[in-house]
Amino acid sequence: IFFLVYILSHSISRKVRQSLILLCEAHFALLYILNLNMISKALKHKGSVITEILSQL
């Protein structure tokens, strides 16, 4: 958050600002995908209570 505030408040070129914002978006998207991967691996464990609960939904 502080990084985005820095980007928006300081005078840097428009192209650099857009590139940095795009890099931040890609970073957060990658973190989200990795988090989903970790959750799906945890759900694949045999005998997982969470898997049984989710299968009932």
From residue 3, alpha-carbon distances to 7, 28, 43 in Å are: 6, 13, 34
pLDDT tens sequence across 8-43? 777 778 888 888 889 889 999 998 988 888 877 777
- Between the CA of residue 50 and those of 21, 35, 38, 53, what are the distances in Å? 36, 16, 14, 5
Cα four-point dihedral sign 10, 12, 16, 18: positive
Check residue 48 and give its pLDDT: 65
Q: Given pLDDT bands bounded at 50, 70 and 90, which one contains residue 57? A: low
Q: Provide the residue type at 29 as one letter.
A: A
Mean pLDDT value across residues 39-57: 69
CB 21 within 8 A of CB 5: no
**Predicted local distance difference test score (pLDDT) of residue 51:** 66
